[in-house]
Each structure stands twice: as structure tokens, then as C-alpha cells.
Structure 1
């Protein structure tokens, strides 16, 4: 047992308390708060409810921790705070986290953390002055709220005084006959000894008017002792730690010392002569001129955006008017200048604005200079420079730069990515169907976001794909790359709102996730990508105008741009996610793994040459992805009735023309057949010309006039019979190149045999003689007891029946290999199968004549061919039987059971090698999953 003496100026009491701390208290103070053990033992004790009741002088309802430093003042921290009747009568709505003895509720002092070994730590003034933090050579003590914060500072060589509360640096007015308040004894003692003070209250206190007023009153009283006064309250973000102890724990003591160093440079302590002369304050003009001379390198008023900016050591941070006034107030107070009303400070601030106003905020080229946490990267040389106000940056990537460059071991960006970001490489390859050119486009987008390239290129990013294809994951990765403070979310319909522009204008990344169909109002999207100034207004501020230099990213499940999209297509960096990842492969753990590679991913993206980034973002030259072009056109056909009509009915013919009236009549009839809504005749010509000129590149398609009416030159309507061999527009886009050996092609002999077989089966009325794996989900799952003993595995592993596994000769070569970093999420499966485009419709017409394709949407043969090819491609991309089940509309897929069965039998009859691959896939399962 340990005997503790608890006393005040009027009485003394002794308590016997347990020692050491209870395990729960040890865990909270040592492990959770990361306070030094010897300092905790010297200042904290565990006490029971009974001892707490004795201490407080009223019934305690919880055991807790007794806090006592070098002095008589104590405090009690209950394990379970409670709200008493006295608290309620005093107007408190929350249970107090700390309690003081009732006996001397009006008589209190600050708490000085006891040094574990030096009992004279706070008593030897000369030694304390040597230990104290020096500001321009003057010893200063930190003042905070709460003993734990004071221990965090003092134990790290920064002597810190703990107040019981922000209001309790001054005595209670109740104890003075005249109702006046004075410094508490400890503060008064050190003020008389000549110590300066640095207030360090919680980061969120700057938004609390009561706390700001309490700090002002404390500084006002301290100033009477002619000592230097400073404040670091609010000098770090709440996310970095609420109190100084949290900040030290998260960022480290050296980072906290840097905060002190910055504030030391910012506040110039007045000399004794200046303090004496301060009885008559300088005029607002005199003070503003002096402050402008001193702080010109660190203070500036951003004229375009009508806001103050303060250099925080890395970037020019935006300060609201109120935040800047608080900074100005602290600066003036530290100089001991007397003034009577706030209008004095307001006049100084207005004069400062005129003297420090920057009309146009010019930063270094963000394409060639990139601000990281550890410095500014000069892209051309790879050198890291120290942060400087001269860069004029207003944001930075909140991670250190780690150089990665192309080398003999990794001569291309894709190899550099595979070597340094194996998880991202593996995820991207699956999301992009093992197409490295598509993965490189993702990498180019990362580069463009980091280097603000989309402003230069006047483009935005559009990610489209069904749920579960990875577009949301990629969008969230972009957000994490730029950091929480540099991105925000919005909605397309709100982009043009004044207050929304004010919120977005300084962001490096603005995302519009999961957008719905828009009806032709795209002016706001163009404004964000046009490079022009945008007018906006912040709440309680005058209108402003500025440019948006960041990147706009829009995501949707299907195409959302309808109607007149002129000017929009050339601004769009389209990336299509069409490989739906099975649900068992989707996990929040994947994003955690990807997030761990962000530093390396940033460096890999920056290793891409600028010319290649430009080509891949624009999709031109060797970086063009025909599949994306074709998918973009098909998406347009889904939502744009003019595109859908032109796709089927328009043929490019430089020597022909059609009357607009004939075109509109044909277009209206087509809309009537398909159920789409027709646009007005006046809009048809402009939409058609936009498609022909901008999308297809048919520059010879123009509008003209003849005596009989308006004509469109360079096109003609499709004619039945004679134009059957003419391709639809969608077929003009080059198909993706084949990556499959020719051995998988079906021979003409196989086709003839298949034709005979289907005719035979049709005569018998039985086409499907194999079990339908799409109908009975559990029919083909392999039971554990059916496996050979030497192949029995753990439940989470995969079993492939040996006799059904595809041979090496009949399987596809892997498109690429990559390190397996997520084995529990991405199990080994059969390789995706692809077939050369020339064989895609082999036998389709023969089979369709015998058994018509069960198209649920249309009787159009071309539509049926497209759907059957889409199913076949899905079969090839499937890795397990679960993937096959997911295609069924009853299981959330896109196709009916009849369609899936039709395509399965077609593949079986005309593509036997491919069908064997499909059989093998149907035998591969992820055991342990339940299917309903």
C-alpha cells in the first residue's frame, strides 16, 4: 500500500492507495496513451470506489485513477463517468470525465507532473530555466489542459503545466469579494520568475468560442507580468490528434518540436523596451506595415479566391477569415499591444489584405514539380528539394517519395509495376481481362491525377462498368493516392452550384460516383475541363472566380450521357470495366493490400514518359484500345436513339446524300420499332453530324441544301438485300486481337459433322443430352469423399478432377504471369479461353435455323448474334462453376437460362475444344461456399 497526502491551502488528508496500477489502468496509460511507465507511476494511482468517495467528499459511482503531481492539487478520473444531481443542477449535460474534491471546489491550482527521480524539478528555478523550451533564448513553459498531456510534454523534455480545465488557469471569481479573477498559484509563481508561456490546448478548441475567450482572458492576465506569450492551439489538424499527447503519439516528438519551431519563427517576441513603449498602441496602419514586412514570406491574401493563405512549412494553407483573425489576435497579443475594441484588429487585417494581396496565384508547374511529404520532387532530375514558400503549392501528397525508375531489370512501366506493386498488378490484370494496354491506361490515369495532366489536356475520367467489376475500387485508390484533404465527392447535377464550386475549386480530385443518366446538360462538366475561370461564391463571402486545376472522375454502371454530347466525347478519358469479378473474390481486404502499395504505385506511375501518358489518356496512336472504342459506341447506342438508328441504318458513302426529311422518317420508324423516344427533327441533323464528324471521323459528312430541302452529304440509308454485306457501324471498330493458338480453331470437317449431328438431334427433338450445369447448381460439385486420397485438401482449396482437367495442348497460354499476393482471394483456376474472331459465328446460322435463338428482347438476328457472342465470351472468362452460375438471370446475371443453354449446346456442337474447356470449368468449385 502507498500513503498519499492530499491537501490544499486549508486542510490536509491522507489516503492509502493500491500500488502498482491495476492491469486495466496500466493498459490504458502505458499501451493506449503511450505514456512512460516511470512517469505514470510517479503521478497516477488506482483507487477503489470507497477511496474515491473519501477523496471527493461525495459518493463515487466508479473506481478509477487518482492523478496528483508535484503539489497539493489532485484530480480523479473515473473508469465509468457518471452524471450526478449536482452536475445536472450546474447545467452539465454530459458526465464529467474528471472530478475534483468537493471540499475545495472553489480553491484549485494547476498540476505539475512529478519527475520520477528529480524531486526538485519544479522547485529549482534556474535548472528549470535551462530545461525549458527556448523561444529566441527566453525559457517558456507549455500550458495545456489535463495531466496526461502535461506528462507527454514534460517526459520529452518540454516542461508542461496542466490546468484542470481551459477556464481554470484563473481563480474563481466567487472567492474574491470584488469578483475578480487572478492567476492560479503555480502560474503566478512561474510568471513572477520570468518564464514565458506557450498555450497548447486541443486542436478543436479554435472552433469553440468559450475556449477561445478563456484563452484570451488567460493571456490577458499573464501579459501583466511582462513575459513572452505564444499559442500553438489549433496548429495541427484534429485528424492528427486532438490533444498534444495524441499528436506526439501519432506524429512523434520531433514533429511536435517542429510545430514549436514554426511558431517560434512566426511570433517575434518584443523586447523589454518595446513592451514598455506598448502602453500607447501603434496605429492600425503602423502595425499592418510592420507585420507585412515581417510575415510577407508566410502570409498572403489570395485575390482570385478571396481567402487568406499561410505557409505551414510545406504548403500555403487556406485560412478562413475567422481563422486568420485568430492568428492575428495571437500575434498582436504576444507583442503586448493594448487595444480597446476588436475593430482595431479588423482595421489591421483589412490593411494587411491590401498590402499582402496576390492578384494571381502562380505555382510552379505541377507537371514538373510535385510536392510530397518529404520534399518537392523535380521530375526532370529526380532531385528532392526542401519545401519553400516560393513554390506556392496549396496541396501536397501526404506520403514520402520513394524513387523508382525504369532499368534493365524493369525496362517498361508494366514490368516495373509487376515487380514493385504485385497486388495492384494482379488486381488490374484481372479487372482489365489480362490486357496490359488497359492496365497501362489505368497507370496513365494515376500519373495524370498526380501531375494535374487532365487540366492541361482538358479532359475528365469516365469509369463505366457493372457493379463488381472494379471501377469503384480504382476510384477509391485514386482518392487515397491524393489524400483525404485533397479530394471530395460531388454529383453531376450539383457541379455548377456556386457553393459546390467553392468546395471543389482547390481539390486535386473530385469524384462523382455511381451517377445516373443525364439529359443533355453537360455545360458544368465542360467548365471543369475547359481550363477557364469559374465564378462561384462561398457562404458569407463575396463572389470569386478561379480555375479548377484538378481531375474530375465520373463513375456509372452504364452509359449516362444522352442527347447532344457535342464536345464531350473528345474531353472524355473512357475506361471500361467489363470483367465482373466473382463475389467470392471481392473483399475489403483487397483494398487494404492495394493501399499498402500506394507509395510504390505513385513512383511507378511517375516513371511513365509524358508522351506515353498523353497518348494513353487520349487513346490515340499506339495507345488506342479498339475494344474501348467499340464499347464506347455500343454504350452510346444504348442511351442515344440517334446513335442506335445510325448504327443499323447509316452507311458512309462520300458520293451519296440523303434528304433530311427522309432520314427523319426512317429514324422515327426505327424508334417506333425499338420503343425508343425520337428527338425532334431539328436535333436529328446536329446529332447525326456530331456522330459522323467527332465519333466516326467522317469529315466529308456535311449539311447542305437543295431546292427540294436540306440534305446530308456523305451518307446514305441502308438498302435491303443489296447492302446486307455492308457492315454496321459497330463492326467498323477493329475487334480485339486474338491471343489464342490456331489449334483451337474448329476445322470444316468438324463443322460438317456438327451440322449432321444437330439435324439428327433436331429430328429426335433432343438437343441437350448432357447434364445442365446452369440449372442444377450442386449437380456437378465434387464431394470430398469422392476425391482420391492423395488429392483430399483443406476446405478452402480447389479440387479439379484429373480426368476433366484441360490438357496443356488445349488450354490457352497465360496472358501474363504475376506474383501471387492474394492466394486466399484469387485461387488457381483454368485459364480464360478466347477464340479468333474469324470463327466467332461458325455454325450459328445453321443452329439458329433448326432451333431459333431465344432472344428475350428482340427478333433481330444481329441482336441475337450479339447476345450469344456475349454469353460465349462470358463462358471463356469464367474460372469456376460459381462464375457460370452468376451468368443466370435468376442468380443476378444478365441472361436467361434458355439463352445460356442454347449457347452451351451451340459451343458443344461447333467448338468441341472450347466445350471441353467449359466442361472443365464446370467441375471447378470454391468449396465452403453455399449457393441458394
Structure 2
């Protein structure tokens, strides 16, 4: 046995690796621990003299046999090691022209000493078991380090000391390496190689070295002679021209990529066109074609480029830039593939299969990108669940990072001073802005947003609005925001540009929101159609938050405006600085890390709570002033209108929009929008339809008014809040408010609406009424009757009966009848109140001689609520007051029969024929997967298919639109656009006037 290092008295027993040798082994996939375990060490010149007979410093590499015994050493001198023996270095340069990479012991006189070439069996595996089981595939490669690196990945690999070193010369005879003979005396086989697949894998530059190709063919011949099944594994060269050995490839691309290559080349060897071909006549192997088939080309490209490229389904290609995955064009990917082709000396890359296999191997689903708990920075990733800071890692598939370092200890004094000046030291407003910044920066999953909102920032120049937006943009970074244009909201290519952007922003937006429905879906992160130009169109969630800044608010159509009403948030800047700081922008940009730390100090739970609040006064002013239908009615009918036909009203609306630069919605959407404006009533007689428009000069949306009545006692600046305002970074912890009146139930602390059965709501004896004012709970003397107590809710506990009266209800109680006020004064529970209100309601309905169904229908018209139990006290009182204002209609007395006078006969005009070819040009086309359809005038969804020669049908299964109703919609469209139908309308109106005037018979 060759003497081990520990057994030789001339060698120090302690293994040592210097830094150069550690780095060399680590670059080949062998760490220091593994190196020490398997006998690698830095040999001094004297130690090398003992090992190989030459006095030179270097890395000593032990050679193991199949029994895990060290039988030899080789020396790997690195660049700096040669300085230990300058004379030897000069000798090799003069005689060989280059320095050898490895040195072995010279031949001796005995047969064993002449066997200087050895096969290396990595001691990580049990080679006795592998030898006896021929179903286990084995690789043979050049070099001990490569063989050990492969075996560490679980791939059995034998190393030879050089491509030509499969023989030893004994005297004048050439002998195949005895360690690879593997003879056996079993009955069914003579060698352990028999029937075994043996992969031969040398460095990737074999394609240009004929000597290495010849050596591989000779090794394959020897394996075949012993019953083995050799096949060649061709390693790819990197796209930059850097060659790969087995150890290099494993370090760069991993064991999975190598195992895939092994399997594919083994399959290729069994095909009709193997690379390694056997010639029966010559009894020799040859390499037929070193340019593999298309599928293996794709696999080789995948193996080398998989760590720098990924294909995201539906979105395109991304490239790793050592910090994040960056979206790149397909042309750049094709350029990288061409470079890869040149490096591997392929003649052809035009085969579509190559690209498809390459693309398929690199494709990842959308859900693997941008995890909701990972936030990227310049210096690493923050796990927002555990608050752990991690190094950049491509496996997280992060596509955006914030453009500054994460530093939780950073501060932002200038930023806080700016907010205090710009927002008038209004703590509530500052915390509101902070919550919006926190929501924008929060990583989001691919679901509907829990916060469905859009922020409009309104303010004149010089009030701080621009500075706030600049910092917001700088916080997310230039690559993480996109410009959002509401007028182009149906441009699917523009929407694709907003995918995964933290912020969709426009710092000076003007114009008209052309499609309010799409805008609402973006705010809620619902599916919208996007188009990756020159690729495909598909539906996805943008995962972006919209922030629009404006001097003048955007206008929008009423169709879908209810969705915008609940999503719209407004932040106003209206305080110009007294002493402007012209260096403020630079100061704030230097505080980005501190601004982030300040924003991130607000938890996501607190953020959701704070964004329930909104400045409803500013929001309602903007909403009402920019809703085009409402703005039209205000300007055109400030004093109202008692009777106007739909066609005349729409014609005036269209002209008004044109004169004022607004987009014109179609007539069906216009009529739908009118239904949603409180007070506008559509009615009809036997002969015509018409609208009654109330005075619109002082119109205000009741939904905003109700929200504004909520106040918090003992706090400043809280008027007009939807929810309790909060200050600081802690949530508002006051108990839920129960029994709130004059307020939509959405903002009450109750889980169930109008719960009558509370056991704790009975009062043993009556006390004087205490009504809530905006300043606090103060006794209020009511001029109508003496007050009895209603005890307020406190945080310490519940009194026997609690009732907090809002400002709206207080005002209502001042004006209603005495008997209704008595209901509240005598109440001992909420049940008492509702029993009294229901009784008063019932009495009025009986007085009017109406039934219960009529009453519910009227209530819905006035409040928009299907269930009266969903209403608050103010709505109940309003409706009862409305009923009391109605007079009982006396029954008409029977009239005496009159002798009819003979009148002239006027024939009724005949309606023109409805021709589908006339309707088609005026139908709104569908979008997305329904782009071949049209928008149905009945359900307003793009499910309508029309064939002028055959007919029409709406395929909306949810509404099952009746063909008669669709036909009526076609008629309305023709009345709006077709001259023949417009003439018919005029003739019909004239005929009706004649009949109603009594001058003719129809």
C-alpha cells in the first residue's frame, strides 16, 4: 500500500490548506471540510519530494482505489507555488514550453512502480456494491477532483489522470488500467462492466480537440470490449466562451442539470443517429456529429442559462441582475442564444424546437413571482413575516426592489417637518398619508386587495403636492412605478406596463375616465385584460396602487360611479410654505431609508384601520363636482324640471358634453346613471315616458352626508370621518360604538343590524335624556318635550340602555312631530324605538289606504334599501314624515255619460322596420375573449351576438336577457341615431298631441 501522509515520519501529521488551495477547491465544489476529510492538503517542497520525487510546493491530491485505500498522490501546483522552485519552473518552460497542471511520480524499475497511471475511486461511495450491480450507471472523466465533485452529488464517477492515461507501459507492453478490468467469475457474466451504461464525459472543448476525441473513442472501445455500453456526454460551453469541466458545470449549474444531460445523451446513444458510433468493419468508435439534435440543444442552452433567465407565463422574459429579475425583450434572449450557439460551434439554431424546449424548461407560473412576504432593497431582502433580513436570492423571483438600503435605525427629520408644514400639523392627515405610503410599499399577493381604494391628491402649485409625489416616486424607484393615463384606460398594452408596479401614478392628470368599470377593477386588484405587445392578450391582476395628482379633478361617467364612490380617497394640499426651502428635495432624497423606517413603523393592521377614514367633505365635493351626469343636471336644471322626455334630455346632455370637453356615454348608460341620482324620477303615462328632475343647484350625495355625521368626542379635527380617526402608530382602541343612529350600519360596532333582543338593554327606571353633541356628551333641552335619559356608551362597560344620537338625528328631532319624539323619550330599549317607528309607519299607510307592498316599494325608492331593517333612524323618520305629507286621494265620483262629438280621424303613424344592419354600427363592441360580440343593451355585458341574416341572442347566463327587451333596446338605439326613426318619433308625438288635445280620433 502507498504510505499515507499520517504514516510517513517525514511528513507533519496535521493537515493544512493554504488560502490559495482552499479557494481552488471551493471553486470546484469541494469545501474545506470535505477536503480535510478526504486527504487534500498543502504539501511543502520537502513533502512533495517524498510524494512525487520533485521538490515543489503544491496541493497534494490522494488517489483512492476501490477499497478506499490511498495508493498514490498527485501534485497540483498553482501559480504562486512555482515560486518555491524557480529552477524547476525554468526547466519546464524551456523544455515543454508551458508549466504542467499536475505532477506525478516518475516511473520506477519494478512492475508496480511502472504503473504510474491510476484510476481514482471517490471514497464518498461504496464502490464494491456499485461494482457488483451493473444496473447502476457510471461516469468516467478526467481528473480526481472532477470525479469527487460528481460523487458528492450522488453520481458514481471514476477519475483517470488524463484522457490518454488509460494505459501503463510495462517494458514494451501496453497494459489497460488493472483497476478498471473488473473481471468476475460469475456464470452469467465475465465482467462487472457487462450490460452497464458507461458515460464518458470530458471537458466541453472536446469539440475542437481531435486528440481528446480520439482518446474518448479508444476508451469507449475498451469499455465495449468488456461488455459495457459506452455513451458520450457533451458538456456545453458557456455563452461567453468559458469552457466547462464536470466540476465547473456542477458548481455553476447544479446536479439536476447534469443528470438531465446524462439521461438525454444516454437516450440519444440508442437512437438511429448517436454521436458515438460503432463501426463493425473497423472495430472502432468514431464521433459522427458533435452538433446534437434540437431537443438536446435546447436542454444544453437551458442548463447554462437557467440561472440568469426565466420565462414568466403571459409576461415574457426576465434576466437576473444579481439583485432582482428584470424584464427583458425576447430579442435580447435570442441574442444570448446566438452567443451560446457560437461558443458551442453549432452551425444551426433556426430550428423552432430548440427555442421551444429552451423556453419550456425556463417557464415559471405567475404565482411563483413576487411573494407577498418578501420586500427587496439595494442591500438585500426583508422577510416581512419574520422581520429577517436576507441576502439577494434568485429563488424568490423578486422583480422589483426599492432603490435604497434597508436601515431600520435611519431617521427622517426633514420629511416630518415638511409634512407638518404642508398638512398644517394635522396629525390625523399625516397619519392618513403615512398609511397610504405603507399600503403602496407593502408586498402584495395575487389576490383581490383588502384595501380597495384609489388616492387623488389635489392642490395648487407650491402647496407641497409635487414634493410629496416626488418622494413617493423615489421611495418605490423609477423601475417600480408606471405612468397611468385614465383616458387610455382601455389600452391593454398600457395596462400591461403597470403589471407588478408598486405604484401607478400621474403627477398632473387631466381629462376624463373613459371606463370607470376598469378603473374600479384596477383599484380592487381584480382581473383586467392586458396585452404584451407582439405576444398575447390575457387577464391578470396588476398588483398596483393608483395615485393621481391634479389641479382640477377628473371627470367621469355615472355608470359604475357607485364603485368609485366607495373607493375614492382624497388628500388635499392647500398650505403654501411661508419660507420655501429650495434645497428640500435633496434633503428628502437623502432620507429615503429613514422615511421608509418611519412608514414601516405602522403595522399593516393599523394601515387598514386608518385607510377606513377619509376626508369625506373633500371627497364628496370632488365626486359630485366631476360626475358628468350630475354636473350636467346642476348646470342645466338648477331649479329642476317638471317634465322632459328621455330623448330630449339625452340630446341636451350630449351637446353639453361636447361643449365642455367631456366624453359622451351612450344613451343606455346615461339613463342608468340617472336612476342612481337621488330625486331624479323616471315616470310614464299611457302615451309617453318622461323624467322629473328636482332642483339640482344645492344637491348633495346622501351617502357622503351620512358618513360625515360620525364624530369622536373629546378629539380635535375629527369632523367628517368615516371611522374613528387615529393618531400615532398605534390603532384606535376604543370599544365599538353600538346603537349608532344617523349613520350607515357599515361604520357601527355592531355585528348584526338592529338587534332587538339584547338582554342588557332594559332600563329599570327612566332618567333624563342626554344627547350627543360634536364637542362631547352635554345635556340638550328639547323645545318640543321634556327629555328623558338615554345613557351613553363608555369604554368601562355597558349601561342598561345606550343610545348615541348623531348630529343629523338631533336636527331631525328638532323638527318632527311630538308623538315621534315621544318614541325616543320613552324608550327603554332599541326594541321600544323600532316598535314605535313601525307602528307610526303602519298608521300612515292605513290612513293613505295603501297596502304593505306599496309601502315597501315607496321606501325603496326613497332610501335605495330593499330591507327597512337595514335603515338608520334618520331614514325611518324621513320616510314617516314623507308619508304624513301625502294626502289621501278621494275616490272619483261617477261622471255622467257624455255624448261624444264626432271628431276627425287621424291614422296612427306606422313604426319603421327594425333592421339589424342599421343597429350594428351603433352597438358597442366587446373586449377580450368576447371581442367578436357586442354589448347587450339589456344587461350591458359583451355577450350579445348579432347576425343580420339570422338574428341575435345574449349569452349571459346570469341575466338570461329576454329577446323582447333586447329588441326594445335596439329601438331606443335607432331612435337616437337613425333619421327615419327620428322622423317617426316626431310624427308620433304630433299624432299624440292631436289625440290628447281632443281634436281628433286615432
Q: Which has the higher contact order (CA 8 A, sep 6+)?
A: 1
Q: Rg bigger for which structure?
A: 2
Name the TM-score class by shorter chain.
0.3 to 0.5
TM-score by length of 1: 0.42
TM-score, normalising length from structure 2? 0.39
